[in-house]
Structures are given as structure tokens and as C-alpha cells.
Structure 1
Amino acid sequence: MLVVTKKDIEKCYSLKECIDAVAEAFKYFSAGKVDVPLRTQIVKKNGRDTFLCMPAFCEEKDAACVKILNMFPNNIEHGLPSINAQVLNIDANTGVVNAIIDGNYLTQLRTGAASGVALKYLARKNCTKGALIGTGAQAATQLEAMLLVRDLAEVLVSDLNFERAQEFASKMQTKLAKYQTKIKAVKTGNEAVRDADIIISVTPSHKPVYDFSNVKKGATICGVGSYQPQMEETPAELVAHADKIYFDAKKAVLAEAGDIIIPLQQGLIDESHLQGEIGKVISGELVGRENDEETIFFKTVGIAAQDLMTAKAIYAKAAVANN
């Protein structure tokens, strides 16, 4: 059995490859070809810390895995990852666990890749400015995903802790220098999103992290951080006024995503406002962006199909590298 660490993954697998794997995951999932039970979720009494178990199986791809994942948002204050996870990759023909893969980094890759896929299919072609709100463990791959799929001149970064945003922006400016994009920290979410073509928020906030009035028409917004019904990092007004709303998995979003659940409960939208799953846009069953004036919102809570296709791809490359 292979033990695949973050360093092992970095040596043989890229975010660009992961975007392709996640696009395939979304497409297969929406076609009903991946068995993904709604993830098991146990929330501690503080309403914040969460234990998750996420199995998945795709017979057509001979792929099976289980991810065990724990989300503790306050860990960031102690210099620890807010997400801790391991993925068990399983031989679908024998049931043998053939690899334990670093689930923290795999999650970062596949979560960043989800935004990358959404932006690839839904964002305007001529984007020049991006905004990233939140600088936790998931932020780096979110930022790189933006830069992989659109040629951005500038990305403004904000966080509740401005010093942390500055440190993140400085580090990413060096790490992602090959993209020749200016990465700058700003003090507020509103400053970050103003005039942005692409907005990604990746926070566990229970209240909106920017105001809808600062979002320009034609922007593409990815809500990544809200994964419980009471979380709401995206303004309800934005969701209500979006021309189109897409997501990774309808059942999961309606069960878990406060960004969608809260506007529904408030009567600002109903299910007729929800265009559908990104997988159907990829397959051509649904129309995506039709013009540069459409404001489009994409919500992802993360589904095990993403872990499945990513783990399968990582295992294939790691197994070769290990021989």
C-alpha cells in the first residue's frame, strides 16, 4: 500500500491536471455515473467543528475511495490547517485499499479545481481583475485556479486579519510569479471585489464578507467556503440578482449551503432560479454564459466525486513514480 504525501503529489501532479480531473468528475456525477451518498456529517456542540465521511464509487472508471475529513475553522488562529483529511484509495475490483493519500492537499487541489472548472466554463473571456476573500488553507489553490483559466493583470486579496492577507499576498506573489499577475492585499472585502471580473470567497463566515453593491455586472462569483446551512459568506442580494446560478450538486447544496439555503428561506429566490449542475454545462446539456453582461454565481460545497477522480489520477501517477 502506498502512502502518498503532499511532497509526493507535488512531484507528480499539478492543479492544471486536477482541473481536468474535476471537470470529468462533475460530468460523470451529473450523468448519474458516480455513486456519491450525501456525506455523513457530525457537528460538535459549538456548531463550528465538523467531522465528515465521504465515500464514492464509479463503476465505469473502476474507481473507489473514502475521504475522512475534519473541519475546524478556528485552527487557523493556532497555525494549524482548518481542514485535516486522509483519502483511502480503493481497488474497485478487489476492495483492497491500495493507497493512503494526503487528504489535506488533495482537498486543496480539488477545491481549487472546482472553481477553476466553473471559471473556465462560466467566466467572461476578457477578465483582467480578480478578488480572493479568505487566506486559509484553501486559498492558494483558489488563487492559482483563477490564474490558470484567465489571464488576470491583478488579484486583490482580503482577510479578517489584514496582516495575514499581506503575508499571503507576498508569498503568493513569489510562488505564482510565472503568471505575471500583481497580487495585492487590501483591508476589506468590499475593496477587493470592487470592479472585479472574478470573485472567489473561501471563508467560514456566518455573514456576507462583501456588499452586493460593490459587485459589477458581468462578474463571475464562486462561493466556496459556506458548507453549513447557517453559513453565509455570499450576500443574499447577490444570489437574488444573479442572472444564473450553478452548483456542483443540487442535493448537497440544498442540504448544506447557507449561501443558497438562506436566500431560499427568505423568499428571495426559489428553485426555479437555480440553473443546474456545472457537470451538465460541461456535457452541453445546459447553457452556460451567453453574454458578457450576465452576473453568474457558482456554489460548491464539495462532493466525493471530485475526491474520487483526483485520487484515482494521483494514485496512477504516484504508483509509476514509486516503481
Structure 2
Amino acid sequence: MLLLSREDIKKVFTIKDAIEADKKAFQLVVEGKCDAPLRTNIQAPKHDGCFLFMPAYVEEMDTASLKIINIFPHNIDNGIPSSPAQVLLIDGSTGIVTAVLDGTYVTQLRTGAASGAAFDVLARKDARIGALIGTGGQAATQLEAMMAARDLEEVRVYDMNYERTVDFAARMQEELKDYGTKIVAVRSSDEAVEGADLLITVTPSSKPVFDGTKVKAGATVSCVGAYQHHMQEMDPRILTRASKIYFDSEEAVLSESGDILIPLEEGIITKDDFTGDLGDVIKGKVTGRENDEEIIVFETVGVATQDLVAAKEIYEKAVAAGVGTQWN
């Protein structure tokens, strides 16, 4: 069994690799080629947390996986990841676990890459300004995926804690300097959102974190954080302005995301307003962006297929490069 740490993964797998892996995963989802039951969610109310178990199996790849990811949002206050995780990669022909990967980093990569895939497929080609709301454990790869998908001049970052926002922006400016993008900490979500071509929200908020009336025409919005029914980062007013609404998986989104479930329950939107899954756009079965004025919304809650495809590709690259630690 191969043990792959964050540093091992970084040696062989980039955010651009992760974006391409997510595209494959989203196609497998819409083709029905992955058996991935909706994740088991066990609540830990004492700590405002939860334990998530995400299995997946792709017969044609002879590969299965299990991700154990535990969401504890208060961890950020103690300087530890808010979503610690491991991914077990399993040989589909023998049932033997072939690798254990740092699931925290796999999750960060594949979750950021979901926004990157959506922007790559749906965003205006001339997008120049990005906005990121949230600076927690998922934020760094969301930011890099945005910059990998489009050649951005500037990304504005907002979080309720301004000091943390400044520290995050400075750290990211150094780590991602090769992109040549200016990363700026701002004091309000309005300042982040106004004029932005790309917007990512990645917070655990239970109320909207931006004003949907301030999003510009032509913008592409990716909302990432609302993985439970009571969570709602997205201002529902953006849904009434949007020309198209896409998902990583409609089934998964409708099983848990307050961003969509709450507006549905309140009658702000109906299922007739949904455009389709990103995998169908990639396959050419569903229309993507049709003009530069459309506001496009992408809601993602994450599916286990993403973990499986990413883990499989990381493992193969690591074996080829001789990276990782063997454990018997």
C-alpha cells in the first residue's frame, strides 16, 4: 500500500491536472458509469461539525474509493484544517486498498478544480477580474483554479475577518506569483463582487454572503460551501437574474444544498429553471454559454467520483515517478 502525503501529491499533480480529472469525473456521473451513493452524513452538533463518508466505484476503471472527510468549521480558529480527510484507493479487481492519500489535499484540489472546470467551460473568454469570498481551508485551491482557468489581472478576496483576509491575500500572492495576477484583500463583499467576471463563494454561511443585484452582466458564479440544507451562501436574487443554472450533479445538489433547496421551497425558482449538469455540457449534450451578457450560476456540493478519478490519477503518476511511502 502506498501512502501519499500532501507534499508527495504536489510533486506529481497540479491544479490543471485536477481540472481535467474533474471534467472526466463529471462525464462519468452523467453517463451513469460510477456507482456513487449519496454520502453518509453523521452530525456532531456539540462541535458544529459532521462526519462524511463518500464511496465510489467505476467498473470500467476497475477502481473503487472511499473518502472519509470530517467538517469542523471551528478548526480554522486553531490553525488546523476545517475538513480533515483521507482517501482510500481500492483495486476494483481484488478489493485490496492500494493507496491512502491525504484526503484533505485531494479534497482541496478536486473541489477547487470543480470551479475551475466550470469557469473553463462556461466563463467568458475575456474574463479579467475575479472575486473570492471565504479564506478557509478550501480557499487556496479555489483561487488557483480560477487563475488557471482564465488569465486574470486581479482577484479580490473578502472574508469577515479582515486581518485573516490580508494574511491570506499576501500568502497567496507569493505562492501563486507565477500567474502574474494581483491578489487584493478588500473590506466588503460588495467591493469584491462589483465588476467581477468570476465569483467563487466558499464559506459555511447560513445566510447569503453577497448582493446578487451587484453581480455584473456576463459574470460566472460558482458557489461551493452550501453542503447542507440550512446553508445558503448564494443570494437567491442571482438565480432570478441568471440565464443558466448548472450543477456538478443535480441529484447531489437537491439532496443537500440550501443554495438551491431554499429558493425552491420559497418559490423563487422551479426545477424548470435548471439548465443541466456540467458533465452534459462537456459532452455537448447541453448548451453552455451563448453570449457574453449571460449571468451563469454553477452550484457544486462535490461527488465521490471526483475523489476516485483524482486519486487514481495521482496514484498512477506517483508510482511512475517513484513518489510516496510503501507501507505493508
Which deviations, in whole Å up to 9, do the C-alpha atoms of 1:85-116 show, x marking residues without a partner? 00000011100001110000000000011001
Q: Deviations over 1:110-164 (max 9, x none)?
A: 0011001000011001101000000111111111111111011000000010011
Between the aligned partners of 1:142 and 1:21, the Cα distance in structure 2 is 15
* Alpha-carbon distance between aligned partners in 2 of 1:170 and 1:293, rounded to the nearest angstrom: 33
Separation of aligned partners in 1, 2:48 and 2:290: 39
* Matched AA of 2:40: T
> What is the alpha-carbon distance in structure 2 between the residues aligned to residue 321 and residue 43 of structure 1?
40
Counterpart position of 2:89 = 89
TM norm structure 2: 0.97
1:61 aligns with 2:61: yes
1:76 deviation in Å?
0.6
What secondary structure sits across from 1:239 in the alignment? helix
Offset, 1:240? 2.5
Distance 1:158 1:205 in 2: 14
Name the counterpart of 1:152: 152
Structural mapping, 1:287-298, within 5 Å: 287-298=287-298
Question: What is the match of residue 138 of structure 2?
Answer: 138
Q: Is the 2:47–2:72 contact (alpha carbons within 8 Å) kept by the matching residues of 1? A: no
* Residue 264 of structure 1: aligned partner: 264
What residue in structure 1 maps to residue 115 of structure 2? 115
- Corresponding position of 2:326: none
Deviations 1:51-85 (A, max 9, x none): 00000011112221000110011111111111010
> Size of the alignment, in residue pairs?
323
Contact 2:67 2:87 in 1 (8 A): yes
User: Which AA in structure 1 matches 2:147?
Assistant: L
CA-based RMSD: 1.0
Paired amino acid for 2:279: G
CA contact (8 A) 1:240 1:263 kept: no
Deviation string, structure 1 residues 212-262 (Cα, Å, up to 9, x no partner): 121111100000011101000110111222110000111110011110001
Find out whether 1:18 has 2:28 as its counterpart: no
Give yes or no for contact 2:240–2:269 (8 Å, CA) kept in 1: yes
- Equivalent position of 1:278 in the other structure: 278
Which residue does 2:33 correspond to in 1?
33
Q: Provide the C-alpha distance between the structure 2 equivalents of 1:292 and 1:299, rounded to a whole number of angstroms.
A: 20
- Are 2:194 and 1:194 aligned? yes
Q: Distance in 2 between matches of 1:139 and 1:168?
A: 9
Output aligned runs, 1:238-257, within 5 Å: 238-257=238-257
- Measure, in 2, the Cα distance between the counterparts of 1:47 and 1:12: 35
How much does 1:46 deviate?
4.9
Matches within 5 A, 1:213-228: 213-228=213-228
Return the alpha-carbon distance in structure 2 between the equivalents of residues 264 and 218 of structure 1. Answer: 24
* 8 Å Cα contact 1:115-1:222 kept in structure 2: yes
Higher deviation after alignment, 238-247 or 42-51: 42-51
C-alpha separation between the residues in 1 aligned to 2:288 and 2:196? 20
Instruction: State the secondary structure of the residue aligned to 1:124.
Output: coil
Segments of 5+ residues of structure 2 without an aligned counterpart are: 324-328
Deviations 1:146-186 (A, max 9, x none): 11110110000000100111001001111111111110000
Q: 3-state DSSP class of the match of 1:38?
A: coil
* The 10-residue stretch of structure 1 (163-172 or 232-241) with the greater mean CA deviation from structure 2: 232-241
